[in-house]
Structure 1
């Protein structure tokens, strides 16, 4: 059994793994001042970015939900890994060979990383095998399937399409030959366990690799090719430690950069649809894998398109979007309309505008590209219509709007839908549109029906907005002295090399807030500013310094240390940061002097000149006032 990873290797992983790159694979980060980046929190729903990353200290913190930590903590939280698995994953990313205690020295087999790494390696080898098999004579049916849909060899290579040969154990034997055990292969989902033993899960099928946003293959989707195959048309990897269908989107690894650039995602229904979209110039297309688009998918998409609620989404005529676009493509038949109605429920989690692109002929994007070419695919996306409008108009088709009874019945049916629109800026606009679609000149009755539905609790009307939750309390209320304390601790943790020596002269009573005092005690225990300066790397990073303070901090204080280490510095000019840091710290020192001066003056007022100690107290007061005056002049 593998021993514990050596501490120095864990620290090396923390230092080498660039937190902005790891987080950036899940969250669209933007510059937020000197040395700071921010984006939408991946751990709770929010519309305004409150998730901050500070690369030079190697830590992140969400000022909305309170989640924070280093790069290892982030991988543990976002991917659901254990500590060892997270370290091994990051070590693989940065090319670091880990060493293990308890017999994990030179004699330890090199192929003994954690379980997750083993499963990922098995999928990598399987993908290579499937891709090689696509060129064999036995894969002629698979190549014909692709060619009939307009996909050549280069397209297959671009999307990693392969072929699982017929037979029971071709892949099994191949993976055994590469050193993988049966328990590992069963856990991976690449093979299945039957009464007669294990066998290949995918046989005689085209296979598409399903990858995480990081690019690691975690599963496969397989399409039936032969009539004698009695299985489903599409067969996916089962739920495994790597693969959870409600958390994966096919093509996400290929689309993520374009999604972030264009602030758009196009959700299609199948693997070949994703291929057709990308090959037609729509590089933001992804597909769900054997399940409906759900809330977990929505969270993934929202983070990547930077769905921060910047746009109210009322630009209905132009179809343009400032806050990002989520476009669902559905067939124009009844099943497609039902899918759109299901998507309406998820739409409420988006601040971006949500659209539907429907091809009235019933062709999917793959068929559209094949029959009409790439221009038609791009036109399908360009001709999108707002999801709310599509849902309302689809619902209205069920009623005879030529009669008064039909119009009233339709209004009663769709008013709750309008009432359920959480964007209050959109609701009046759709009320007016609904009146027009119903043929009612007076908007008043429609508005009253919508209001009544809202009071009764229309779909989603009573639910709170994503992110509407009680915010955790943090030290630093609206008190100027406590604000100075907090800001001083921020710069001490983030830029120790710029902090003046006067900080180390502060006593234990320099901080009024108990939590601030506890952080100060951890800083002193870690060696103070002198130790902080010594630990700063050649690149200016203070990762080791923050880590040292965390090691000295009590468990209840550690989250605040991380928060302070990540908090954005308001000064946005790099050349002015040094002056800002010095000014903040000296201001805190001055506050301390002022507090002591006030105490001495109060003591003197209670004394007479004849009292013992009066002269000493007076001399101390004069000296302190002189030090404060000198401090102000130097600042």
Structure 2
């Protein structure tokens, strides 16, 4: 939904060539002013308003990290985030910048269908992550219940922001109503595990739970883990996203993305 999907598939070796050729300092320097500090570079983060630079670029590791808002990733994910591109669009932009000719073949129908489902899941997961964190930080129930839970366990504000933690209201349809009002289909929400349907009626799967987004190694939200806060003998303590085209549980290690973003 709301995306343009490629009819051609970029050869893996071409993608790797683009990534190997791309200089993260040079590329990010096209969008914002950087200055050298030691072996790294710093600047004002383009993803949130700040007066004191907290945006760091580590050329040795090929990654960027903002210690203010928590955004981080590699050169491809920076272009994706800054330009609001898909992965393929970011690769094409970098290839054009470095004048690299991409090797492409017509994508089979199965690949295009898979790509569309994966991209739709990424979009709805990103929406849900922002929604749950906004509830945690700005909603009275979120602050009192979810915020208290994290505070009692020593979660500092920067950790909450870095891991994009959240809270789902203790209501049956708060999230599903908001998501559907934004144009997300019930089918997609159910596939992502964000809602369930009983007797034809959708309801929030993470009702009254604190939310832990699960990230890919490049910072994409693949799914969620959610812990119930009220004692309920009829509900599981933890609920995780179901496996789907985007999320395969045994291929993901929680916290890997954040640990890789640490810049020495």
Q: TM-score, normalised by structure 1?
A: 0.25
* CA deviation profile, 1:435-492 (whole Å, cap 9, x unmatched): xxxxxxxxxxxxxxxxxxxxxxxxxxxxxxxxxxxxxxxxxxxxxxxxxxxxxxxxxx
* CA spacing shift, 1:194–1:16, aligned 2, 3 Å: same
- Contact 1:138 / 1:165 at 8 angstroms: preserved in 2? yes
State the alpha-carbon separation in 1 of the partners of residues 255 and 237 from structure 2.
20
Moved over 6 A (4+): 1-4
State the alpha-carbon separation in 2 of the partners of residues 196 and 151 from structure 1.
39
Q: Which runs of 5+ in 1 are unaligned?
A: 23-87, 102-112, 262-282, 284-635
User: Paired residue for 1:90?
Assistant: 87
Q: Does 1:127 align with 2:129?
A: yes
Q: Does 1:170 align with 2:174?
A: yes
User: Paired residue for 2:18?
Assistant: 18
Pairing of 1:246-395 with structure 2 (within 5 A)? 246-256=250-260
* CA deviation profile, 1:556-594 (whole Å, cap 9, x unmatched): xxxxxxxxxxxxxxxxxxxxxxxxxxxxxxxxxxxxxxx
* CA spacing shift, 1:95–1:127, aligned 2, 3 Å: farther
> How far 1:192 sits from its partner (Å)?
1.4
Q: Which runs of 5+ in 2 are unaligned?
A: 23-84, 94-105, 107-114
User: Paired residue for 1:138?
Assistant: 141
State the alpha-carbon separation in 1 of the partners of residues 90 and 233 from structure 2.
40
- Contact 2:162 / 2:258 at 8 angstroms: preserved in 1? no
User: Paired residue for 1:240?
Assistant: 244
> How far 1:178 sits from its partner (Å)?
2.1
Pairing of 1:455-604 with structure 2 (within 5 A)? none
Pairing of 1:67-78 with structure 2 (within 5 A)? none
Q: How many equivalent residue pairs?
A: 178
User: Paired residue for 1:203?
Assistant: 207
* CA spacing shift, 1:17–1:190, aligned 2, 3 Å: farther
State the alpha-carbon separation in 2 of the partners of residues 131 and 17 from structure 1.
37
Taking only aligned residues, the RMSD between alpha carbons, in angstroms, comes to 3.5
State the alpha-carbon separation in 1 of the partners of residues 92 and 4 from structure 2.
20
User: The residue matched to 1:18 in structure 2 has which SS?
Assistant: helix
Q: Does 1:230 align with 2:234?
A: yes
More strand by share: 2
Q: Does 1:149 align with 2:153?
A: yes
State the alpha-carbon separation in 2 of the partners of residues 196 and 219 from structure 1.
24
State the alpha-carbon separation in 2 of the partners of residues 166 and 204 from structure 1.
4
State the alpha-carbon separation in 1 of the partners of residues 14 and 235 from structure 2.
46
State the alpha-carbon separation in 2 of the partners of residues 164 and 17 from structure 1.
42
> How far 1:198 sits from its partner (Å)?
2.0
State the alpha-carbon separation in 1 of the partners of residues 6 and 261 from structure 2.
34
* CA deviation profile, 1:225-260 (whole Å, cap 9, x unmatched): 1124732222111122211211111101111356xx
* CA spacing shift, 1:133–1:214, aligned 2, 3 Å: same
User: Paired residue for 1:297?
Assistant: none
* CA deviation profile, 1:362-400 (whole Å, cap 9, x unmatched): xxxxxxxxxxxxxxxxxxxxxxxxxxxxxxxxxxxxxxx
* CA deviation profile, 1:320-343 (whole Å, cap 9, x unmatched): xxxxxxxxxxxxxxxxxxxxxxxx
* CA deviation profile, 1:97-136 (whole Å, cap 9, x unmatched): xxxx9xxxxxxxxxxx812111100000000000000021
State the alpha-carbon separation in 2 of the partners of residues 92 and 222 from structure 1.
32
Q: TM-score, normalised by structure 2?
A: 0.58
- Contact 1:134 / 1:142 at 8 angstroms: preserved in 2? yes
* CA deviation profile, 1:582-621 (whole Å, cap 9, x unmatched): xxxxxxxxxxxxxxxxxxxxxxxxxxxxxxxxxxxxxxxx
User: Paired residue for 2:188?
Assistant: 184
* CA deviation profile, 1:400-458 (whole Å, cap 9, x unmatched): xxxxxxxxxxxxxxxxxxxxxxxxxxxxxxxxxxxxxxxxxxxxxxxxxxxxxxxxxxx
User: The residue matched to 1:249 in structure 2 has which SS?
Assistant: coil
> How far 1:184 sits from its partner (Å)?
1.4
* CA spacing shift, 1:138–1:10, aligned 2, 3 Å: same
* CA spacing shift, 1:147–1:229, aligned 2, 3 Å: farther
Of residues 117-126 and 13-22 in structure 1, the stretch that sits farther from structure 2 once superposed is 13-22
User: The residue matched to 1:168 in structure 2 has which SS?
Assistant: coil
- Contact 1:163 / 1:206 at 8 angstroms: preserved in 2? yes
Structure (1 or 2) with the larger CA radius of gyration: 1
State the alpha-carbon separation in 1 of the partners of residues 170 and 162 from structure 2.
24
* CA spacing shift, 1:233–1:92, aligned 2, 3 Å: farther
> How far 1:163 sits from its partner (Å)?
0.4
* CA spacing shift, 1:176–1:10, aligned 2, 3 Å: same
* CA spacing shift, 1:92–1:116, aligned 2, 3 Å: farther
- Contact 1:160 / 1:209 at 8 angstroms: preserved in 2? yes
User: The residue matched to 2:170 in structure 1 has which SS?
Assistant: coil
- Contact 1:188 / 1:241 at 8 angstroms: preserved in 2? no
Greater length-normalized contact order (CA 8 Å, ≥ 6 residues apart):
2
User: The residue matched to 2:196 in structure 1 has which SS?
Assistant: strand
Q: Does 1:213 align with 2:217?
A: yes
State the alpha-carbon separation in 1 of the partners of residues 219 and 212 from structure 2.
14
State the alpha-carbon separation in 2 of the partners of residues 243 and 185 from structure 1.
14
Structure 2 residue corresponding to 1:193, chosen from 194, 197, 216 = 197
User: Paired residue for 1:68?
Assistant: none
